[in-house]
Structure 1
Amino acid sequence: MKPHVIGGVTIKAPMRPEYNTILTPEALEFVAHLSRCYAPRVEELLARRREVQARYDAGAKPDFLPETRHVREGSWRVAPLPADLQDRRVEITGPTDRKMVINALNSGANVYMPDFEDSNCPTWRNLIEGQINLHDAVRRTISLSAGGKTYRLNDKVAVMLVRPRGWHLWEKHVAVNGAPVPGGLFDFALYFFHNARELAARGSGPYFYLPKMQSHLECRLWNEVFVEAQRVLGIPNGTIKATCLIETLPAAFEMDEFLYELRDHSAGLNCGRWDYMFSFIKTLRNDPTRIFPDRGLVGMDQPFLRAYTQLVIQTCHKRGVHAIGGMSAIIPVKGDPSANEAAFAKVKADKLREVTDGHDGTWVAHPGLIPIARTVFDQHMREPNQIASKPRGDVRASQEELLKVPTGPRTVAALRNNISVSIQYLEAWLGGNGCVPLHNLMEDAATAEISRSSVWQWVRYGAVLDDGQPLTADKVCVAIQAELDSLRQQVGNARFATGRYLEAAFLFRLMVTSTELQDFLTLPAYEILVATEFGPTWGAPQPAQGARSRM
């Protein structure tokens, strides 16, 4: 096997016949065009991230930008929203495998976010088959026969908002001019090229969720991509609508600016609270006064999260657009009614807080939670949204409030849970699965990042746990081995041997004992994935014709 060159793009992965629907010369020419135009800008923005982080590492703190004060104080509003984005009270998220796409669209949620990012492992197969599934879903031809059942779409389905990868992720299966394509551009370009006109013809449009941005300049780049993509395909400007996830600490200080940069294409902001917690640790990683307590104790009642979520509502409603609440990662427990009752009570309380605060919708990770979320929002939000009825002019979120460290204990039990979750998630991710149910929670890259970064932080600063002892690198290595041994017993020797537990544990140990906090756990994991995905001979130099074998 050797790379293929199609439409100015070099594909370093197998080309199955069914992929020809998506990887057409015309679509790949579109990918190549956007990559040539904007990949250098992505590099510049990532370099800027490193520069800004260096200032934080030296003692600076995130704050509202003086140079964009006129944007925050201006009276502008975003462009009007299309009819099918007016009511977004319940949204479900998940990966793009065929069964998930059908079930999520049929789930009764208003919106489904097909995810190429945190809940997706970016294997070549996952990426291209995901695009095929969305292509078929848009045309309502998608179906699946499995386990004696046939899955098809209902007459009424959710609206799709696709999440491409963040700017920090690259698509290394594909190259333009010898360099990888930004993963977000690859995901966006293929979906937009194949589906934008079809969606418009069906009364909807190409809608997106934009993740992991740390600056309004990164929003500006997405806006330029949107303008150019619409121009090239002859689609009216402003047809694209995008919701930005506020899931990094620096972004909390630039919410108005995010909306302003995308004002012709904006569909509001979302409280990506799991990544936001991780970003709080990462951004302030050199400050020993910002050590997190147990992950499970950092609830939405913590002052820094209350300030952040209410500021999202105020900012969005001032600009005439939706403020979407955070995801409930809880999943139903089979065969345990009492556990389910307790879990559902937590979900109900979470959604009640969101709707009474003024959110216009909320996220769930499991279809079993949709009725709970819908009931709460239906009871307290009679209109399609609360943009006009709850402006939240009372909110005053200061820098101090947004940076207030969460309080609570740090325990040995939480350490062990963080280690176990991280190893199991990484093992699944290296095996091609980016969304894993663990301990009655749906774990994805965002939730795993909290576990990983918390352990790093506790080791870095020798946090004293509830056993009265400071955590050291040696102690965490012993704990990692203990959890690895426990996992071997849980899954059995055969599953352990065929899985990737040792690789996952080794990678986790490297990351939590390093002097520097790795930006994202998926970055080193992706290097392993790409190196092992197709076997050792993929892309290897071919012997010249007539060359004699050394066998």
Structure 2
Amino acid sequence: MDLGNRTPSMKRIDSHYDVPEGVDIRGRYDEEFAKILTRDALKFVADLQREFRSHVKYALECRREAKKRYNEGALPGFDPATRRIREGEWVCASVPPAVSDRKVEITGPVDRKMVINALNSGAKVFMADFEDALSPSWENLMRGQVNLKDAVAGTISFNDKSRNKVYKLNDQTAKLFVRPRGWHLPEAHILIDGEPATGCLVDFGLYFYHNHATFRANQGAGFGPFFYLPKMENSREARIWNNVFERAEKVAGIERGSIRATVLIETLPAVFQMDEILYELRDHSVGLNCGRWDYIFSYVKTFQAHPDRLLPDRILVGMTQHFMKSYSDLLIRTCHKRGVHAMGGMAAQIPVKDDPVANDAAMELVRKDKLREVVAGHDGTWAAHPGLIPACMEIFNTNMGNVPNQIKTMKREDAANLTEQDLLQIPRGTRSMDGLRLNTRVGIQYVAAWLTGSGSVPLYNLMEDAATAEISRVQNWQWIKYGVELNGDGLGVKVNKELFGRVVEEEMARIEKEVGKEKFKKGMYKEACKFFTKQCTSPILDDFLTLDAYNHIVMHHPRGLSNL
């Protein structure tokens, strides 16, 4: 929306956000949001932005330089300059007792009902997600901050009038971790000194400012706040986070190391920097996580100029592929050597209602995946749906016994011999027309949901988020760019823009049939189709689908205006 425009849905109000010097809020005014966007909280965020924005910009420039090297034929690998860190005998700070047991973690967006259900789910941890599971609209972000503040205070409730049911917290709840956005995403509704704020500093800053004292007052030292850190590519980016944490602790007057974080290893370059990342965060770390879906996406993105590294159908790129198993094994060894948790990946399956056979098949896939993780040495795992928690918990409890984690018992010294070649081995499998169709169908439907405010979407018995949608996008792009021959169906046809155009047209008809004409008409499926098609056929691969899509959900409001 143009700053000079007022739509009929807007109404003049007397209130506006009380902002410190140099800060401009261009998001809609709301009394609940104003309790989050206080003058002091905004000053805290602005101070973080001013202190670290040059470091963030440099880190992103280093990403671009690395991409250029990979596009010119280089391969990622272990850095000889940091060999002393990899071979050193240092360890991270001890894991706080409050989160020593993380056998099963549930993840999801920060909408109010989800927060309550996830905290009540029986999982050990709930990761409240401002990133891949959230469409970062102003409404979603600010309501998410309100919801988490109420959750930390223990006062959160939700009245579901359609079901005539009130949701509130149980006496025993999961421990709360928060995932802010990645370094690359801006927050266009908050300008600091005339430029958009860094999204993750907004997410972290507002949450920390409003909740760190409540954590300590209600639960004592060692109870957080806890975070998950996404999308890092090297230890330089981890150093920025460590400095942010130290700065926040100093301003709040709390002990160094009060903030703890788990880093998602979900980019290919980061797998070669796991020791270095933990070293930078050693006073603030509680481990690493196998962010498997983004990791697959990153493999394609890193090798976008390497036609010899084409992926098979996305459903075939699982943890049994050698490069994926090597990544998991090395992560376990690295974490346990440094005294912190090695967390497993997401079970994306969801319970299948009204189809016992399909539901049993889905649950069996979950059980096999979780058994693989616990036997390999992971200390815990992720699930996307509360219905998976009991099965996941049973497998980890049965195979781990009474111990809260496997840090001391599963050292995985066998993984010490893993090489760069192990971590880069080309995945095997067929590329099929069905794979192209599924990518297209899932990608379009996810983008349509994202543009209308939903970042976590159940599709075809799986929970799709931005990471899985990214795989669909970049795989289509890769196949089109290099004219892949589809060999899984015995057709021997090559993928090109013309074939893809026909697939898009046919899959749009299928989507309309599946969702119904009325929903299709009201949804943003046509807009999503244009956007996703453009992303798949662009001569140059965009780094992130969500970075481009973000421009479509930014809503600037003049001061003193509100949608009513």
TM-score bracket relative to the smaller structure = over 0.9
Give the gaps of 5 or more residues in structure 2. 1-5, 7-11
Instruction: Give CA deviations for 1:345-384 in whole Å, capped at 9, x if unaligned.
Output: 1100100000000000000000111011100000111200
Gaps of 5+ in 1: 543-551
> Which position in structure 2 is the counterpart of 1:545?
none
3-state SS, counterpart of residue 91 of structure 1: strand
CA contact (8 A) 1:4 1:12 kept: no
Matching of residue 314 in structure 1 with residue 338 in structure 2 = no
When residues 478 and 353 of structure 1 are mapped into structure 2, their CA distance, relative to the original with a 3 A threshold, is same
Amino acid paired to 1:247: E
Offset, 1:5: 5.9
Is the CA contact 2:108–2:129 (under 8 Å) kept in the aligned structure 1? yes
Q: Secondary structure at the match of 2:117?
A: helix
Among 35, 56, 67, the alignment partner of 2:81 is 67
Please show how residues 53-64 of structure 1 align to structure 2 within 5 Å. Answer: 53-64=67-78
| Equivalent residues of 1:135, 1:194 under 8 A apart | yes
- 1:423 maps to which residue? 444
> What secondary structure does 2:553 align onto?
helix
Looking at structure 1, the residues matched to 465 and 61 of structure 2 have their Cα atoms a distance apart, in angstroms, of 26
Q: In structure 1, how many angstroms separate the alpha carbons of the residues matched to 2:510 and 2:407?
A: 50
Distance 1:152 1:5, change over 3 A: closer
CA distance in 2, matches of 1:375, 1:267: 23
Q: Deviation of residue 330 (structure 1)?
A: 0.3
Decide which of 13, 19, 24 is 1:6's aligned counterpart: 19
**C-alpha distance in 2, partners of 1:314/1:525?**
38
Counterpart pick for 1:218 among 225, 229, 237: 237
Partners of 2:560 and 2:393 lie apart in 1 by 57
Q: Does 1:368 align with 2:381?
A: no
Counterpart amino acid of 1:165?
A: R
Letter in 2 for 1:73: E
Q: Map of 1:339-378 to 2, 5 A cutoff? A: 339-378=358-397
Tell me the distance in 2 between the aligned counterparts of 1:100 and 1:509.
32
Alpha-carbon distance, 1:491 to partner: 2.6
Deviates more, 1:506-515 or 1:70-79: 506-515
Distance 2:526 2:334 in 1: 46
Moved over 3 A (4+): 1-5, 538-542
Separation in structure 2 between the aligned mates of residue 139 and residue 15 of structure 1, nearest angstrom: 24
Deviation at 1:541, TM superposition (A): 13
Aligned mate of 2:322, from 303, 320, 324: 303
Q: Show the counterpart of 2:290.
A: 271
- The alpha carbon displacement at 1:474 in A equals 1.5
* 1:136 aligns to 2:150 (yes or no): yes
Q: Which moved more, 1:504-513 or 1:309-318?
A: 504-513
Match of 1:491 among 507, 510, 515: 515
Q: What is the deviation of 1:539?
A: 3.9
Trace 1:110-129 onto structure 2 (pairs within 5 A): 110-129=124-143
Give the structure 2 partner of residue 194 of structure 1. Answer: 210
2:425 aligned partner? 404
The one-letter code matched in structure 2 to 1:393 is E
Tell whether the 8 Å contact from 2:448 to 2:528 is kept in structure 1 after alignment.
Answer: yes
In the alignment, the residues of structure 2 paired with residue 540 and residue 220 of structure 1 have an alpha-carbon distance, to the nearest angstrom, of 37
Q: How many residues align?
A: 537
Q: Which residue of 2 aligns with 1:40?
A: 54
Q: Is the 8 A contact 2:17 2:37 kept in 1?
A: no
Distance 1:70 1:449 in 2: 35
Distance 2:469 2:364 in 1: 24
* Match status 1:30 vs 2:30: no
> What's 1:549 paired with?
none
Please say if 1:456 is aligned against 2:477: yes
Pairing 1:92–2:106 present: yes
Q: CA deviation at 1:44?
A: 1.1
SS in 2 for 1:512: helix
User: Contact conserved, 1:5 with 1:11, CA < 8 A, in 2?
Assistant: no
- In the alignment, is the contact (CA less than 8 A) between 2:268 and 2:299 conserved in 1? yes
Q: Residues of 2 paired with 1:211 and 1:432: CA distance?
A: 21
1:16 pairs with 2:37: no
Tell me the residue number matched to 2:533: 509
Contact 2:26-2:190 within 8 A present in 1 as well: yes
1:540 shift after superposition: 10
Cα distance in structure 2, aligned partners of 1:514 and 1:4? 41
Contact conserved, 1:308 with 1:397, CA < 8 A, in 2? no
SS class of match (1:161): strand
Match of 2:183 among 159, 162, 167: 167
Residue in 2 that maps onto 1:389: 409
Contact 2:26–2:559 (Cα < 8 Å) also in 1 = no
For the 8 Å contact 2:18–2:38, the answer to whether it is kept is no
2:436 counterpart letter in structure 1: L
Match of 2:492 among 437, 462, 468: 468
Contact 2:73 2:306 in 1 (8 A): yes
Could you tell me the percent identity over the aligned residues?
Answer: 53
User: How big is the shift at 1:488?
Assistant: 2.2
TM-score by structure 1 length? 0.96
Give the deviation of 1:19 after TM superposition: 1.3
Partners of 1:332 and 1:440 within 8 A in 2:
yes
CA distance 1:540–1:113, shift in 2 (3 Å)? closer
Determine helix, strand or coil for the equivalent of 2:413: coil
Instruction: Tell me the amino acid that sits aligned with residue 408 of structure 2.
Output: A
What's 1:547 paired with?
Answer: none
**Does 493-502 or 84-93 show the bigger shift?**
493-502
Match of 1:153 among 121, 145, 169: 169
| Counterpart AA for 2:465 | D
* Structural RMSD (CA): 1.4
1:255 aligned residue: 274
Structure 1 residue 492 displacement after superposition:
3.1
| Higher mean C-alpha displacement, 3-12 vs 166-175 | 3-12
* Aligned-pair CA distance for 1:201: 2.0
